[in-house]
Each structure stands twice: as structure tokens, then as C-alpha cells.
Structure 1
Amino acid sequence: MTTSKGTIQGYNGIAINDDKHQIILQAQAWGSVAEQQTLKPSIEQLKKQLTNLGTPETFSTAKFTADSGFHSEANLKFMASTGLDSYMADNAFRSRNPLFKMSETYQTEKEKRRLKRSKGKPKQFTRDDFYFDKEAITCRCPAGKSMWLQSKQIITQGKAYTRFSGFLKHCRVCPLQQQCMRNPPKETGRQVQFPDETNRVVSYSDKMKVKIDSPVGRRQYSKRLGAIEPVFGNITVNKSMNQFTLRGQEKVNSQWQMYCLVHNIEKLRNSLH
């Protein structure tokens, strides 16, 4: 399993359960940190499992929620092809929530975390702090200095952007340098790019943002917390399964599915009383 600290021997346990009874319907251990690549095979296994149970119609009528770890353009495209009514958050989902924007507690705690990560350094300027004129195709930095057009159309991760760069002579003596750049400029000034909206195609991510930001979408996604998190809490805390103790994908997968089976037996037993 490749991580930011190198390659380690580890596995990631994934599970899909229903929200009413918290019964795990699909469980698999994967040898990867990234969860995006596990979604498609998990959904395919879930569909097969429901067919084996004699309830294939459940798949088409179900509502599926997943956190931002599974969010990707490829996954959203796949989910759209399945016909599942899915709700998948992105990394900026919380920041777009009006309740979080107006919450002083949220903003205060967010600033505390930022200061801890940045070791007390001032908040960095983002693209929104620059003044971009779409008509004239000009840009000014937060200090009011003009920036030169580096590229009118540059492709980054499949999307077109207009990129500007600050003049090196301005950036070197700028009083806002610490807020604008992580390190003092050497060869180039501050660079900033803006998305080209002229020929922009609405992506599956854009559609999901509109869907999940709606009142219905937020209400539906909020159910995820009470559906899957208690399941993992029961397995990791009550069952003390906070790490895998075996080696090899086959053995680890068997161990993970065994714990999920014990969880299901416990839930079924409780439902009889």
C-alpha cells in the first residue's frame, strides 16, 4: 500500500451497509490507500450480492451515499451509468454549506487548525483574492500590481485555464510576499490561473455539486453519518478490530469479512428481541 510516507504493508477495509438495520451487504479489503478505485468493484459486487439474495430490484431503488474519499469524475460517471440515486461529497462540500460559513465556532476551529499546520504563518492568498478582468484578460494581484499573461489557454488535469504571473521585480519587494508565496521568489513571481468558462463542459462533478448542495441532497447525505459510522465504530472499538493482524490480501480479506459477519450476526440477534 503506497502512502505519503512510502510503501507499507497495509490494507483498507471497505464496507457497504443499509441504513435501517446497519447490515453489511458488501465487504472487501483492498491493498490501497485511495478509495476511488475501490468503488466500481464494490458496487458490482453489491449488485451481484443482491441478485443472489433474490432482491435485485433493491439495487435500482436504493439511495447510495459515500464520502469525499470516493469522489472522482470517473466514479461519478460510473455511478450515473448504474442508475443508482447516489450522493457523493467532494472536498469542498462542507465549505459550501451556509451553516458552516455563518458558524463562528467552525471558522474559529478551522483557523486554529490552519495555524497549527502553518506554524503561525499568515493565511495565503487564493485565486479569489486576485482581480481578474475576463473581458480585457488582465489581472492584478492583491497588492494592486499588474500581472503578465503567461498563457491564454493552459490545460491542467484536462481543464483549460488562463494563467498569469507576477513580475519578479514586484514580487521580490512586495510587503505581502509572506501571504502570497510560501517561499521567496527566485526565478518567477506568483502564478495564478483562472478557469476558462467559454467552452466549459458540465462535468459529472459539477452535476453532483448541484445535487448534493440542494436541501434534498444535504438531507440525504446527512444520513450517511448515522448509517456507516456506527458500523465501523462497532467493529473497530467494540470488537477491537483497529488493525489487521494477518499478512496477504486473501488472509486479510477473510479476516475483515469475518468481523463483518460477526457484526451482522449481532445485528440480526438484536433485531429478534
Structure 2
Amino acid sequence: MDETSKPNMKYLHEQQINGYIPDNQFRSRDPKFADQKDKYGKRHQNLPDKGWRQPTPASAFQFDPVNLTCICPTGEKLSYRGQRDTDNGKIRVHFEGRLLQCRHCPKKYRCMQNLSSADHRNGAGRQVSFIIENKCLPNYTDWMKLLVDSPKGKEIYRHRMSVVEPVFGNIGTTKRLNRFSLRGKKKVQGQWQLYCLVHNIEKLANYGNLAAS
């Protein structure tokens, strides 16, 4: 769920439309999927080792959420780089180490993932971020989370795999409509409706007798 989804959620709320826009954490809030990683394993766990090092974690930095300051393990102050709202209604604060400080830092090889990024003027020092609680009032994102996590929302959303996804799979893979060949909203809409028409004709030809019986 990103910033582009918020106007859609606002529209659903104002028009009282029974629509659902799940966020990327809705599975993790469902108790039925609590042991999914233990049962099936984590994603991409069998990828080959490419020498990726685990840098110094953000917990080793001294973060002050009141004054919005951050001190690195060597005692140097990082530069404040602003803050952004996360999908779960919290605020993520970003900091970055000064270029010259990170370039000559004795802990550079343990702190930075990309060591060469601090070796030139267009590079960057160590970047770190922290999440702070957002004390704002409930918004449309919170309202949508309640809908998706409700028993009715779970019941409706699970039909997506049998109702919506086969249509996208047939049109995108079988019909090879992975991109539109026309420009303009009306032309694109006409092309999409044409493919949907062919999809529905195929369904009538293949399963029309079953529906009539």
C-alpha cells in the first residue's frame, strides 16, 4: 500500500463502497500465516552467496527521537536527511554520515556495505534510518486495515485467487497483453475491453454448457 492508494481508500470510504485494498503486511497480521516461514522457509534462502556483508546495525547508533539527532559508534554526528511516512502510519527518519568522516573512519570496513561509495565526491556516507511512532489520529489506512483484517474482509479477499487472478493470467500470459500498444486513455480502455471481450467469449464457448445445465 503506497501513497497512490490513499485517494482510492478515501473514495471508498466517502462513497461507502465495499472495496478492499490490502497493505503489504496484511498476511503477517493473520494468525493463520504465523508459521508459514517455518513450514515453507524464507523466500530467496537458497540464493548463491555473493559476498554480501552485514554492516553495523542501526541499533549501534545513538538516536534521539526528540531532537532528531543521530550519533554513530565512533561518536560522529550524522546529518539529518528528512523523514517519510511509512505504510503502517509511522514515521521513518533518515540520517547520513558526512562524506569525509566516513571516508577516513577506522570502522568503515565494518560499518558500510559499499566501501567505495565514500571514496569520491559524488558518493555518500553511511545511511541509517529509524522508525518513530506517529501520534496522529486514525486515517483511511487504519480504516482499510480494519476492513481487510475483519472476518468478512478475509472471506471476500480470498476469492481474488479464483475470480480476478485467472483473468489477469489469461490476458497477460496467454494473450500476451503485457503492455498496451496504444496511447491515450480512450484507446487503452478500448484495447483492454477488446481483450476482455475475447476472454469472456472463450469462457462462454468452453463453459457455457456447464452454466446452462
TM-score (norm. length: structure 2) = 0.62
Identity of aligned residues (%): 25
- Verify the 8 A CA contact 1:164 1:192 in the aligned structure 2: yes
Q: 2:192 aligns to what SS in structure 1? A: helix
Residue 121 of structure 1 aligns with an amino acid whose one-letter code is: W
- Alignment of 1:175 with 2:121, yes or no, is no
Q: Give 3-state SS (helix, strand or coil) of 2:20's partner.
A: strand
Task: Tell me whether 1:86 sits opposite 2:19 in the alignment.
Answer: yes
Change (3 A) 1:88 1:259: same
Distance in 2 of aligned mates of 1:83 and 1:164: 41
1:77 to partner: Cα distance: 1.3
Q: Which runs of 5+ in 1 are unaligned?
A: 1-67
Counterpart pick for 1:224 among 157, 160, 172: 160
Aligned residue runs from structure 1 range 1-273, under 5 A: 72-97=5-30, 99=33, 103-104=37-38, 106-112=40-46, 115=47, 119-122=50-53, 132-134=63-65, 137-139=68-70, 144-146=73-75, 148=77, 150-151=79-80, 154=82, 156=84, 162-166=93-97, 168=99, 169-170=101-102, 172=105, 173-179=107-113, 181=114, 184-186=117-119, 188-195=124-131, 197=133, 200-214=136-150, 216-234=152-170, 240-243=174-177, 247-248=181-182, 249=187, 252-263=191-202, 265-266=204-205, 267-273=207-213
Assess if the C-alpha contact under 8 Å between 1:235 and 1:259 holds in 2: no
What SS does structure 2 have at the residue aligned with 1:108? coil
Which amino acid in the other structure matches residue 191 of structure 2? V
Size of the aligned set, in residue pairs, is: 197
Per-residue deviation, residues 108-130 of structure 1 (Å, max 9, x unmatched)? 33334xx46x9452457776786
- Looking at secondary structure, tell me which structure has more strand per residue: 1
Asked if the contact 2:65/2:132 (under 8 Å) is kept, the reply is no
AA paired with 2:144? M
Residues 178 and 167 of structure 1, relative CA distance in 2, 3 Å threshold: closer
Counterpart-to-counterpart distance in 2, 1:107 and 1:217: 27
- CA–CA distance in structure 1, aligned partners of residues 197 and 211 of structure 2: 20
Kindly report the root-mean-square deviation, in angstroms, between the aligned alpha carbons of the 2 structures: 4.4
Q: Which amino acid aligns with 1:165?
A: E
Give the Cα separation in 1 of the matches to 2:145 and 2:77. Answer: 33
Kept in 2: contact 1:148–1:165 (CA 8 A): no
Task: Note if contact 2:71-2:78 (Cα within 8 Å) is conserved in structure 1.
Answer: no
Tell whether the 8 Å contact from 1:100 to 1:106 is kept in structure 2 after alignment.
Answer: no
Q: Distance in 2 between matches of 1:124 and 1:95?
A: 26
Q: How far apart, in 1, do the equivalents of 2:180 and 2:82 lie? A: 48
Per-residue deviation, 1:97:
4.9
Residue segments in structure 2 that go unaligned for 5+ positions in a row: none
Q: Is the 2:55–2:110 Cα contact (8 Å) retained in structure 1?
A: no
How far is 1:87 from its partner?
A: 1.9
TM-score, normalised via structure 1 length:
0.51
Q: Structure 1 pair 104/145, CA: closer, same or farther in 2 (3 Å)?
A: farther
